[in-house]
Structure 1
Amino acid sequence: MEIDLRKLFQGEDGFDRNSNGVIERQYELDLSGVELGGAKPFCAPVRVRARLRGFAGSVELFARVEYTMSMPCDRCAEPVTREYTKEFSHTLVRESREDTGEFITVPDERLDLDALVLEDLLMDMPGQYLCREDCKGLCPSCGKNWNEGPCKCGAPQVDPRLEVLRQLL
């Protein structure tokens, strides 16, 4: 969704009295085509509620995003589906003299809200997806899911790279 910010950058003078220099948008964003780590995590439309408030020379953006993600567990490969609600805020400016990352520069006064929401979601993603915190993973020899019980191949359930640490204890 592209939003024209010209009237917001002008401040309240560019609006009629009823708007108070605020634009609100509520919509669903289809991110089903986004691929992350070989999976397509967004299994349902992302619900976006955005509020933009204009001041002379800047615009404050507040967004609330609700979405469902489905990713394979990084240890056992079982599907993990969770619902999230995130809130983001940004200050939009036409130009910035400093590149501190504090402001988002919108030189053409048009905001691609979809791209910004996707960027915020990707930046907020966890580094690891686990079905549960104490996931035991898969047997490196036979591939059995150790969360379902021990395997019969006799492989040790300790990562061989950690064997040296076990000997110290």
Structure 2
Amino acid sequence: MSKDGYLIKDLTVNNAALKRLVKVYIWQRRTNSQVWDDYFRNLPDLQSAIRRAALALGPDNKVHPHQQLIKKTVRQQVADCLVKKEATLRICKDFEEIMAIVTRCGKHGFGKLAIYDTAQRIGERLGISPERVYLHRGTKTGAKNLGLDTSRGYLLKDELPEPLQELEPDEIESFLCIFKDKFTLN
């Protein structure tokens, strides 16, 4: 991979162009993401946040598009399991601990993206954010298309092209997934 060369829609993109794409992401996506984050951060209690996170219910009381294909009964089972783990979740020190608990409560049909999204929403309520960029199907494809090593299942910010380092890990996760088909190695 060249140090700063990427291909977006058949056009070579250097770090300056990738930086512009990051600005487009911020302009188009950050506000919607912040609405969800603020919603979970401000729920009246942790139990409400846990239940709504697993059910993928947002401020409009609708299921998040990422989880619309997951059966309601599966989301409910995960929610019930996580509510029982409230005391353990309350004392989590980092995002990895939250992810581990959500993973243990996961059921067939509640995949990696649902686990990540649920952990991220619970983390918002607890004031804990991811420090790594977790790789699920779409994010992993985006990272591979940028020539990044995806073998660990996560990336650190300093391993990413410089323009992406302007974003937070949860934003990078979203960016890589959204734009996964827009860039490939030059």
Higher RCO by CA contacts (8 Å cutoff, separation 6 or greater): 2
Q: Which has the higher strand share?
A: 1
What band does the TM-score fall into relative to the shorter chain?
A: under 0.3
Q: Which has the higher helix share?
A: 2
TM-score (norm 1): 0.23
